[in-house]
Each structure stands twice: as structure tokens, then as C-alpha cells.
């Protein structure tokens, strides 16, 4: 195995600031961990790309913790509700994360480590200096090889396993095609902006890719939009194989933390018809002849898994007031049709879709 290519010049990362921690009885410090190999992941539990790193992080934790690897998750929230310790703690439990997590609500640690894209991975060597860094799309085999290379400096003759092969077809380099980009409220396509007062936005008949459109009574909710009436809809013209959405049953962080809001449901309509069974993603279940999703907590929901990359129109029909939308994200791999279905730990209908890791 070749040596790790270090950052040049070698950088000693700033010490972790005082913050709230999860999965550890006391805060960790880089200085106290000197002599260990530290893998710092900058992540957010609502990010599709961050959730897709979890199988690899679990494997590395199991393979290398006894050999000196320490994983630290730095939770860097993209939405206001994800600043709550209670929400992050609940997400870590649902996702089966066992390594320590520090809450980086002001994004300070991410800035200090020069990670501007999620997920960000930074390897700190036993000498306390940054030796490897990736941000955005992760090269998993190269990252595991870097972990092994740094650990071998502590033990010159270790017995390492072969780096983990791709967990999903879309993790194979060059396997995926371009898709619609992530959409947030800045990509709202209605002619008039949504305000803090409930409005009935007009949805144009000609809806373009790269925008989403509202129908019904909606109002703004900080970094999202909320249904104010009993029914509403979101229209989305997209080009991708899979669709995910960050949704919440309420825009109120207090209601979310205390569990005061009853779950809501949405119905999914693709190309003018109920979403077909073969396109159900992990969080979708069948109610009569309708494809539905139960929205009980603020998180990323898996909505659609088409067999290949095509253009479709998706309509999310809300059933109940309070539903809050934050973002759409998309998957692109052509091989998803042949990939095994691996429902997420966050699936709420375990009787229909048994929960296993992302």
C-alpha cells in the first residue's frame, strides 16, 4: 500500500470548540486523541449524500476501532430544525450511529477544516496533522486505503481487510448520469413569492425542470414552506431515477422536540397516476390504490425509485395542515433497478418495508 498523500503544507487542525456532544460521556479533544488516527466527518442527518456514507462509516468503525481509529461526527445542520440536540439525538438512534457526534450549529468546525461541501471527510494522523481530505462525493476505496496507511504507521505489520467494495451500484465511479439538482425554497417556481401570511399561489400550466410549484394555501416558514389549509400540493418536473424530500409535520421546533404534532400523510402521483408499486421508495406504502408516506418527524424521506433516469412529473398531495417542505434531492444511477432494495433505518412502515441501514 502506498503512503497517504498529505495536505501540503501539513496543517494542524484547530482544537474542537466547546459544544454539545452525543454518544460520549464527555467532550473529546484532538489533543487528548494524539497518537490515534481520527476520521472527522462533517455531515447533516437530512442530507442524502451524508446518509449514503453511513454503511462505509459503520464498516470502518467495526474494522478499525480496535486498531486505533476514532470516528467523530460533526453535525452541521442545513435547516433550522436540525440545530436541536433532541432531533440530532433521535436521528442518530434511528440511523444506528454509535460513534461520538459534536453539534456544530454555527458551522465553525467545518470552516476550520476547510470543508465547504457535505459530506466532508478529514483524516488526522497520529502526529495530529491533517493527512487526507475529501468533500462532496466521497471516493470510498481511496479513503479506506488512507485509513489503513495511517494505521500502519502505528503497527508496521497489520493485517488489514480488503477495502469495502461499492455498497450500491451508484457508488461505482462513472455509473451515474446527471440529474435535476437539489431544490430548496429558492427554486420555487410560482410567480409570486410565499410570505409569512397564508397565500394561494398560482401554479403555471407550463412547469419547468429545476423548479417546484405550490398549489393550495401556503405560507413561508423560515427555510421552508408550510401548508396552512387542510389540503395542498407540490408539483415537481424532474429528471432522475430517485426522489427524496426533507419534510416535517410542523414548522415549529418546540412542537417537534416535544412530539406535540400528530403525524401527517402525503399521497404521491407520478405522471398523472398513483405512483406505481415498482417505483415505491423506502418510505412509501400502499393505502387502497394510493401511494402514501407518513410524515411523523422532520427528516429526509425516500419517495420515488424509478428503474432508470427519465423525466417525470411528481405531485405531492398533502393530507392535513402543517406539512412543511424544505428540499428535494435526487439520485441518478441507471443501475438502481437491478440493485437490491435496502430500505432505510428511517422507514416508518417497517411492516411493509423492513428497516435496514442506508
Cβ–Cβ contacts within 10 Å for residue 277, how many? 9
* Residues facing residue 245 across a β-bridge: 301, 328
235 and 266 part of one domain: yes
Which CATH number does the domain housing residue 134 bear? Answer: 3.40.30.10
Return the pLDDT at 337.
Answer: 39
Q: What percentage of the chain exceeds 70 in pLDDT? A: 86
242 and 110 part of one domain: no
119 and 74 part of one domain: yes
318 and 194 part of one domain: yes
Segment 105-143, tens digit of pLDDT: 999 999 998 888 899 999 999 999 999 998 888 899 999
231 and 269 part of one domain: yes
| Strand locations in 250-298 (E) | 264-270, 273-274, 284-287, 290-295
Return the pLDDT at 159.
Answer: 83
Query: Average pLDDT of 290-299?
Result: 97
The percent of the chain in helix, strand and coil, each rounded to the nearest 5, is 20, 35, 45
User: Domain residues for 231?
Assistant: 183-337
153 and 39 part of one domain: yes
154 and 187 part of one domain: no
**Domain tally for the chain?**
2
- The pTM assigned to this predicted structure is 0.87
Query: Average pLDDT of 20-25?
Result: 96
Segment 247-292, tens digit of pLDDT: 999 999 999 999 899 999 999 999 999 999 999 999 999 999 999 9
Residue 178 in any domain: the answer is: no
317 and 213 part of one domain: yes
Rounded to the nearest integer, the mean pLDDT of the chain is 86
Boundary-marking domain end, from 118, 137, 165: 165
155 and 192 part of one domain: no
Q: Residue 341 — left, alpha, or beta (φ > 0 → left; ψ -120 to 50 → alpha)? A: beta
Boundary-marking domain end, from 165, 195, 216: 165
307 and 215 part of one domain: yes
The CA distance from 270 to 309, in Å, is 14
Half-sphere exposure of 145 (CA within 13 A, CB side): 11
244 and 189 part of one domain: yes
Return the pLDDT at 204.
Answer: 64
Residue 171 in any domain: the answer is: no
Amino acid at each position: 500500500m502506498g503512503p497517504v498523500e498529505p495536505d501540503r503544507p501539513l496543517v494542524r487542525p484547530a482544537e474542537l470548540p466547546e459544544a454539545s456532544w452525543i454518544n460520549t460521556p464527555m467532550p473529546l479533544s484532538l489533543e487528548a486523541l494524539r497518537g490515534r488516527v481520527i476520521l472527522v466527518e462533517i455531515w447533516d442527518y437530512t442530507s442524502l449524500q451524508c446518509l449514503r456514507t453511513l454503511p462505509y462509516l459503520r464498516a470502518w468503525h467495526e474494522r478499525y476501532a480496535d486498531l486505533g481509529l476514532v470516528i467523530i461526527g460533526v453535525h452541521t445542520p442545513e435547516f433550522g430544525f436540525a440545530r436541536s440536540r433532541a432531533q440530532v439525538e433521535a436521528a442518530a438512534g434511528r440511523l444506528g450511529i454509535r460513534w461520538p457526534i459534536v453539534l456544530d450549529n454555527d458551522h465553525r468546525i467545518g470552516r476550520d477544516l476547510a470543508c465547504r461541501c457535505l459530506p466532508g471527510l478529514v483524516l488526522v494522523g497520529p502526529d495530529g496533522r491533517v493527512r487526507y481530505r475529501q468533500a462532496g462525493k466521497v471516493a470510498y476505496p481511496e479513503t479506506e486505503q488512507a485509513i489503513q496507511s495511517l494505521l500502519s504507521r502505528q503497527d508496521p505489520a497489520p493485517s488489514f481487510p480488503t477495502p469495502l467494495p461499492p455498497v450500491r451500484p451508484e457508488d461505482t465511479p462513472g455509473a451515474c448520469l446527471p440529474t435535476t439538482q437539489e431544490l430548496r425554497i429558492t427554486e420555487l417556481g410560482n410567480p409570486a413569492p410565499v410570505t409569512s401570511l397564508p397565500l394561494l399561489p398560482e401554479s403555471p400550466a407550463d412547469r419547468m425542470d429545476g423548479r417546484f410549484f405550490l398549489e393550495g394555501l401556503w405560507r413561508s416558514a423560515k427555510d421552508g414552506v408550510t401548508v396552512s389549509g387542510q389540503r395542498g400540493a407540490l408539483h415537481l418536473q424532474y429528471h432522475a431515477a430517485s426522489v427524496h424530500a426533507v419534510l416535517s409535520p410542523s414548522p415549529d421546533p418546540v412542537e417537534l422536540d416535544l412530539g406535540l404534532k400528530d403525524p401527517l400523510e402525503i399521497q404521491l402521483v407520478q405522471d398523472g397516476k398513483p405512483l406505481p408499486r415498482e417505483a415505491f421508495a423506502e418510505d412509501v406504502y400502499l393505502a387502497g390504490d394510493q401511494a402514501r408516506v407518513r410524515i411523523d418527524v422532520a427528516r429526509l424521506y425516500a419517495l420515488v425509485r424509478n428503474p432508470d433516469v427519465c423525466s417525470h412529473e411528481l405531485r405531492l398531495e398533502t393530507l392535513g395542515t402543517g406539512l412543511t417542505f424544505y428540499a428535494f434531492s435526487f439520485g441518478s444511477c441507471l443501475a438502481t433497478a437491478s440493485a437490491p432494495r435496502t430500505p432505510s433505518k428511517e422507514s416508518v412502515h417497517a411492516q411493509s418495508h423492513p428497516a435496514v441501514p442506508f
